Chain A
Amino acid sequence: MNEMNAPAASKKQPNTNLGLYGGAWLRLRENRWARWAVWVLAILLLLLFAVGPLLSPYAPDHADWDHILVRPGLMASHYLGTDVIGRDLFARIMQGGRISLMVGFAGALVSLLIGVCYGAIAGFVGGRLDMFMMRLVDLLYALPFMFFVILLMVFFGRSFLLIFVAIGAINWLDMARIVRGQAMSLRNLAFIEAARVYGQSTIGILVRHVVPNLLGVVLVYATMTIPQVMMIEAFLSFLGLGVQEPLTSWGTLIKEGADLMEVAPYLLIFPGGCFALTVLCFNMLGDGLRDALDPKER
């Protein structure tokens, strides 16, 4: 390397004063798309979990047979219309959203836990164990997991818990690889060596140096996993294998909308739009976080 890179290196200099995450935070705030995504997600969460239920008097599973397939309208009491048995779409989207997001967070958490533990063990222990563990990951990678999950859902009932487990079981592979790579490179880094020389205990090193360094990657990855999990849940629900009545999720609503779209396209467009927007925001936030923590010019 010659000084071709010198300006880039010195560009980072102001950030070192702010610490690893201070600079990242500044860069994230400068990212317009990520800022938008955070706002939209915040409003969405507020709407779904706090304000939404106050806005609509209808229960999501209340069938109002006198008002079936009401068209959406802000003036009407059913803002987003009703479905084929007169259930309020707004209330259903609220409930579906809560479930979709909860599945998203829980699934991401499951895959995060498995992946981080697996990857960290393989990376830090190294040697034969690492080789064996990673070979297993490679092996599992080549399997058609979606098919297994569909089988799982079909044969073992469509329970809520199973969805998390099934999805978590798919998604941890990437996480494990990434964490293992990070752990390997951290293990050999100079500052760990230095900390050891200065007599810090292993746990001290882990807490003070390794965890903060891993945190960024894990955060980025978790943010990107949430939309993936929501996608899988919606996929299963769309096939009728996911969340079951009387509960609903965005995937289920999309399925119901798709069946009726020639009569009532809004039944497809509103849940589909909400779902896509949410996934989009998570993806943008994930991109923003990644760029902020890994400031290569993109």
Chain B
Amino acid sequence: MALLSIEGLRVTYPGMQGSLLHVVNGVDLELYAGEVCAVVGESGSGKSQTAMAAMGLLDEQAQVSGVIRFQGNDLVASKAWHGVRGSRIAMVFQDPMSALNPYLTIERQMTEVLMVHKGCSRLDARDRAIKELNHMRIPDAARSIMRYPHEFSGGMRQRVLLAMALLCEPDLLIADEATAALDVTVQAQILQLLKEVRDSHHMSIWIITHDLGVVAALGDRVAVMYAGRIVETGPVQEVFDQPAHPYTQALLEAMPRDDQPLRPIRGQPPSPAAIPPGCPFHPRCPRCFDPCDKEMPRGMSLSGEHKAACHLLSHPQELAS
């Protein structure tokens, strides 16, 4: 059984004058214990919103429908995030510079997690926090813990945030662009740390990124999102070697490589206020044909776990041409 399964998740926001903004449009996603699943997409594709929905952290204006089942409980219906958020599911965000409260010591910000979720005393919580900081290779953790966030560098802060997220030994860690704001070298260190965490803590990791390099480095499975939908999913190696969806192909081609010129994807992702009918990618798709602007393609299994939603797959003659 999946640790977390999302079925038909939709998130909409009220826009100006009664319009609706469709941010997530029917996402199905399953995460299994012990795997690293990467969700990729351009900004605005709804990947963060999906994760925020799973954490129950969306704005109060957001209308959420669908099922988010975590360890058997539907979180959307029961709204029972208490005891899950921060303890069973933890999350690390993009910008470590602003993700820590500048007014409180690291100690305060770390111990409160344990005190709230585990009922630890402050001293126990402190010991536990220092241990976790040591795991994250924060130098001189016993002293560092008394400092304020502004006394740390960006990479160090991200380590602190990671340590903070791991305090309750969650079953699932969501890393939302956790390395995007960092220098390349620091980025590599944090990725290395995440790898170690994956191996040592036996937890699932859900990575949200726009960086295919991160996916390649860390992911077991990848899901490609476009305009609030998952257009292709499968084992990382398979998807990278044989991308089925034209969007995935375009993303891979847009990846900077030494030997080839950069090929950016033409056009802009659609506004959530006006998502094109049919396949939302068709205005930008180089291989758009007859049914694409009318019918929504359904997900088709390619081999085992590799699935994609594209009309080409059900029209072999087009695929061949």
Contacts and interface: CB of A to CB of B under 8 A. Distances in A.
A and B interact: yes
Interface of A: 1-4, 6-7, 10-11, 13-15, 23, 26
A2 B93 contact: yes
Contact of B43 (A3, A13, A14, A15): A3
B278 interface: no
A14 B17 contact: yes
A2 B15 contact: no
Contact of B16 (A2, A3, A14): A14
Contacts of A11: 13, 15-16, 21
A12 to B, nearest CB: 9
Given A13-B271, A14-B273, A6 B16 contact: no
10 contacts: A2-B43, A3-B48, A4-B49, A6-B23, A7-B21, A7-B59, A7-B272, A10-B15, A11-B13, A14-B15
Given A3-B43, A10-B21, A26 B16 contact: yes
Q: Which 6 A-B pairs have the closest CB atoms?
A: A3-B48, A7-B13, A14-B16, A2-B94, A6-B44, A2-B48
A15 B44 contact: no
A10 B52 contact: no
Contacts of A3: 43-49
Interface string B129-154: 00000000000000000000000000
Given A10-B273, A11-B13, 12 more contacts: A2-B43, A3-B45, A3-B46, A4-B49, A6-B43, A6-B272, A7-B62, A7-B272, A11-B21, A14-B16, A26-B16, A26-B17
B280 to A, nearest CB: 15
Contacts of A4: 48-49, 52
A15 B93 CA distance: 30
A35 to B, nearest CB: 16
Contacts of B272: 6-7, 10
A136 B92 CA distance: 46
A25 to B, nearest CB: 12
Contacts of B271: 10, 13
Nearest to B52: A4
A7 B272 CA distance: 8
Nearest to A14: B16
The interface centre, meaning the residue of A2, A6, A14 with most chain B CB atoms within 10 A of its CB, is A2
B171 to A, nearest CB: 23
B177 interface: yes
Instruction: Determine the interface band of chain B, counting residues with CB < 8 A from chain A.
Output: 20 to 34
Interface of B: 13, 15-17, 19, 21, 23, 43-49, 52, 59, 62, 93-95, 176-177, 180, 271-273
Contacts of A2: 43, 48, 93-94, 176-177, 180
A23 B16 CA distance: 9
A13 B21 CA distance: 11
Contact of A7 (B16, B45, B49, B93): B49
A82 B15 CA distance: 54
A26 B49 CA distance: 28
Contacts of A23: 16
Nearest to B48: A3
A3 B272 CA distance: 12
Given A2-B43, A7-B23, A7-B59, A15 B49 contact: no
A23 B15 CA distance: 12
Contacts of A13: 271, 273
A15 B177 contact: no
A150 B15 CA distance: 51
B56 to A, nearest CB: 14
A224 B15 CA distance: 29
A6 B46 CA distance: 9
A24 to B, nearest CB: 12
Contact of B19 (A6, A7, A14, A26): A14
Contacts of B95: 1
Contacts of A15: 16
Contacts of A6: 23, 43-44, 48-49, 272
A15 B15 CA distance: 11
B207 to A, nearest CB: 13
Contacts of B15: 10-11, 14
A10 B17 CA distance: 14
B46 to A, nearest CB: 7
Contacts of B48: 2-4, 6
Nearest to B274: A13
Contacts of B62: 7
Contacts of A10: 15, 21, 44, 271-273
Contacts of A1: 94-95
Contacts of B176: 2
Contacts of B16: 11, 14-15, 23, 26
A199 B200 CA distance: 61
B75 to A, nearest CB: 19
A4 B11 CA distance: 13
A202 to B, nearest CB: 34
B47 to A, nearest CB: 7
Contacts of B13: 7, 11
Contacts of A26: 16-17
A1 B176 CA distance: 11
